[in-house]
Amino acid sequence: MRLIRHIGDVPHAEIASGTVVTIGAFDGLHLGHEQLLHEVRAIADAHDLPTLVMSFEPTPREFFASERPPARLMRFREKFDALAAHGIDYFYCPRFNAAMRDISASDFIRRVLVHGLHTRHIVVGDDFHFARNREGRIDQLRACGPALGMQVAFVPSQVVNGIRVSSTAIRKALWDGDLDTASALLGRHYSMSGTVVKGEKLGRTLGFPTANVDTRRRQTAVTGIFAVRVHGLGELPRGGVASLGTRPTFDGTKPLLEVHLFDFDEDIYGRYIRIDFIARLRNEIKYENVSELVAQMHKDADNAKSILAAKAG
């Protein structure tokens, strides 16, 4: 999959025959997104055209709420890897800025979709809005599409257990500690990926050495203590217990993701790993002393091992 960050870098010669495009934030790559991508792939295969996903960095919601942006379900690299795994050919991800904010719906259609991306087919969700003040609608795409040589398809919203699948619903479930609902909407366990970095080695002094993972997020969608499985350290995932928070017992302020792996003692600094959150054990708590914290850490580890054994596979 080729990443394109600027409209001037679009390989016009390669896509002159047309593209099959979808647009969105694609934060989390949930079941609704997967349905969109499946439809894009099906149309592309039927017409022998390349696929193109358009997203933005930062996301529009982050741009409009720059002081308190919504927690990301995925960092940029995770999104890129997920789209590539779905067989997308081009990922066009321009910067969302004032110019993009102010573009009219008609200009977006002609300048970006038709002339910029050579869109022959566009696939969107049934709640799709675009351009200045979200003025663009599916009806407008359909009205002007034929004259511009562009076909429009929409995919209805997915509903799971009575809940409309959306990134917002997933964030709420995660914040509420409801990993089961989040997993049902995602179609998989919620996960975070990152590089193992050097920490203060505090866990090792407490008898619980941890892998410290750089989350590269301004804020996280989950906090607390979790039973986890870690991928990227061998053919099979490894079980562990993770803390995602500020370590209040030690008066911390910066969110940290620390993972204690069971029956594992290798140097993995610099390794890129994925942490699947299997179950939430409890909230972070400020303890009166280190002895109380260590006693609770032993309980957490035992609890996590029991849960992972019961949810094996």
For residues 122 and 9, state if they share a domain. Answer: yes
Which residue(s) pair with 163 in the sheet?
A: 160
pLDDT of amino acid 13 = 95
CATH number for position 228: 2.40.30.30
Structural domain includes residue 212: yes
For residues 31 and 109, state if they share a domain. Answer: yes
pLDDT of amino acid 174 = 95
CATH number for position 9: 3.40.50.620
What is the percent of the chain where pLDDT is above 70? Answer: 95
Rounded Cα–Cα distance for residues 130 and 135 (Å): 6
For residues 99 and 211, state if they share a domain. Answer: no
Which residue, 66, 72, 51, is CA-closest to 2? 51
Tokens linked to 87: 């067989």
Structural domain includes residue 202: yes
Q: Domain boundary residue among 160, 180, 198?
A: 160
Structural domain includes residue 125: yes
Reported as a single tens digit per residue, the pLDDT across 111-123 is 999 999 999 999 9
With the C-alpha atoms ordered 49, 51, 56, 59, is the resulting torsion angle positive or negative?
positive
Q: Domain boundary residue among 113, 142, 160?
A: 160
pLDDT of amino acid 127 = 86
Reported as a single tens digit per residue, the pLDDT across 200-255 is 666 566 667 889 998 887 788 999 999 999 999 999 999 999 999 877 555 555 77
pLDDT of amino acid 285 = 80
pLDDT of amino acid 218 = 73
Structural domain includes residue 301: yes
For residues 155 and 291, state if they share a domain. Answer: no
Which residues of the chain carry a pLDDT beneath 50?
Answer: none
For residues 142 and 215, state if they share a domain. Answer: no
For residues 136 and 219, state if they share a domain. Answer: no
Q: Domain boundary residue among 141, 160, 179?
A: 160
Q: 179-186 vs 167-175: helix axis angle to the nearest 10? A: 160
For residues 223 and 297, state if they share a domain. Answer: yes
CB 228 within 8 A of CB 275: yes
> What is the domain extent for residue 116?
2-160
Structural domain includes residue 184: no
CB 101 within 8 A of CB 78: no
For residues 37 and 152, state if they share a domain. Answer: yes
pTM (whole model) above 0.85: yes
pLDDT of amino acid 255 = 76
For residues 121 and 213, state if they share a domain. Answer: no
For residues 49 and 111, state if they share a domain. Answer: yes
What is the count of structural domains for the chain? 2
Structural domain includes residue 173: no
For residues 16 and 114, state if they share a domain. Answer: yes
For residues 220 and 92, state if they share a domain. Answer: no
